[in-house]
Amino acid sequence: MAEILVLVDHVDGEVKKVTLELLTLANRLGEAAAVWVGQGYEKAKDKLAEYGAGKVYLATDEELTSYVVAPKAALLAQLVADKSPGAVLVPATGEGKEVAGRLAVKTGSGVLTDVVDVADGFVAEHSIFGGAIIAHARVRTGTPIIAVRPNAVAPEASPATPAEEQVSVTLSDADKGAKIVERVVQEKGERPDLTEAAVVVSGGRGVGGAENFKIIENLADSLGGAVGASRAATDAGWYPHSFQVGQTGKTVSPQLYIAVGISGAIQHRAGMQTSKTIVAINKDPEAPIFELVDYGVVGDLFQVAPQLTEEINKR
């Protein structure tokens, strides 16, 4: 069976959940081989083994993490040439998608982004045209490069004993185009990361003001979820832009997405419509969000959301 390369997403050795999801998917498609770039592998080793990385390609040369994105694409391109993998899986995050695009150019391969599932023959289900269409597509040229959305696959432990191989790549001047001069660690609150959370509760213009976002936070906390917001809410300054969900915000694909006081504009849908179960609370029965939902509540959010929070907290 062919190796399926998985680019590990980590911060100083803390492996992101999406990597475990990609390893699970990779083992369904072939033999998962993790590609590690940077420091902190010792911290991550057991986790990668637990989730089935039969092989780990280790690139720990500090130069590779001194520049933005391009070195990862250069390294993967070299591995594609040397190891002939069946496919390369990367997380469909901002960085992951940029790596995917650069890698596709370097290897002359096709690329599929915003993928939520991959079936036999590398037929991928993905969201295209800003989320307007769900397509099934297969790469016909080169090595399939597939950017998979976080939360699209349930991670399954499947212990392996990884064979480790040190790898490196010589960077070209172009790969050194953007040097990292400073790293600022974003403050981590109590809530899960928006793009990784299994539950996301988002508030929109209907919430009516920054102070009312407490209602959204309370509901999110009752479910152990993350808070999101529509652009109308972030543009109004009611919630930070880093929590915006949609075409020009974050893409989320949780198990449960609750849209509160959000109309369901196409640009908002683009960031959430591949969520597994979608619930909306909106006082307008004609709101377009109801075309998309699994469960809809027509009602005033100021009544419905606190009641829902209270009921959940009782359990």
The answer to whether residues 204 and 176 touch, using CB atoms and an 8 Å cutoff, is no
> What is the DSSP annotation of 92-136?
SSHHHHHHHHHHHHHHT--EEEEEEEEEGGGEEEEEETTTTEEEE
For 25, the token pair is 């998917």
The answer on whether 262 is annotated among ligand-binding residues is: yes
When asked if residue 249 is in the footprint of ligand FAD (CB under 6 A), the reply is yes
When asked if residue 284 is in the footprint of ligand FAD (CB under 6 A), the reply is yes
In terms of CB distance, is 198 or 266 closer to ligand FAD? 266
How many of the chain's residues bind ligand FAD (CB under 6 A)? 28
In terms of CB distance, is 57 or 243 closer to ligand FAD? 243
When asked if residue 297 is in the footprint of ligand FAD (CB under 6 A), the reply is no
Residue of 52, 131, 206, 225 interacting with ligand FAD (CB under 6 A): 206
Q: Residue 227, SS3?
A: strand
User: In whole angstroms, how close is the CB of 268 to ligand FAD at the nearest point?
Assistant: 3
Residue of 262, 278, 279, 293 interacting with ligand FAD (CB under 6 A): 262
Tell me which residue has tokens 């959430």.
272
In terms of CB distance, is 76 or 229 closer to ligand FAD? 229
Q: Could you tell me what percentage of the chain is helix, strand and coil, using 3-state DSSP and rounding each to the nearest 5?
A: 35, 25, 40
Residue of 109, 263, 275, 309 interacting with ligand FAD (CB under 6 A): 263
In terms of CB distance, is 13 or 208 closer to ligand FAD? 208
Tell me which residue has tokens 């001194």.
66
Q: What is the DSSP letter of 10?
A: E
The answer on whether 245 is annotated among ligand-binding residues is: yes
The answer on whether 246 is annotated among ligand-binding residues is: yes
Helix locations, 231-315, DSSP H: 231-235, 266-269, 301-314
CA gap 242, 162 in Å, rounded: 36
Residue of 66, 248, 277, 307 interacting with ligand FAD (CB under 6 A): 248
When asked if residue 292 is in the footprint of ligand FAD (CB under 6 A), the reply is no
Q: Which stretch binds ligand FAD (CB under 6 A): 11-19, 181-189, 191-199, 265-273?
A: 265-273
For 41, the token pair is 């592998």
The answer on whether 268 is annotated among ligand-binding residues is: yes
In degrees and rounded to multiples of 5, residue 256 shows phi and psi of -135, 125
CA gap 281, 297 in Å, rounded: 5
CA gap 81, 96 in Å, rounded: 20
Q: Which stretch binds ligand FAD (CB under 6 A): 96-104, 119-127, 193-201, 297-305?
A: 297-305
- Type of residue at 314: K
When asked if residue 300 is in the footprint of ligand FAD (CB under 6 A), the reply is yes
The answer on whether 248 is annotated among ligand-binding residues is: yes
Q: Residue 1, SS3?
A: coil
The answer to whether residues 239 and 210 touch, using CB atoms and an 8 Å cutoff, is yes
For 63, the token pair is 């130069």
Q: Which stretch binds ligand FAD (CB under 6 A): 22-30, 55-63, 190-198, 277-285?
A: 277-285
Residue of 233, 252, 256, 278 interacting with ligand FAD (CB under 6 A): 233
Interacting residues with ligand FAD (CB under 6 A): 204-206, 230-233, 244-249, 261-263, 265, 267-268, 271, 281-284, 287, 300-302
Query: Which residues belong to the annotated binding site for FAD?
Result: 205, 230-231, 244-248, 261-268, 282
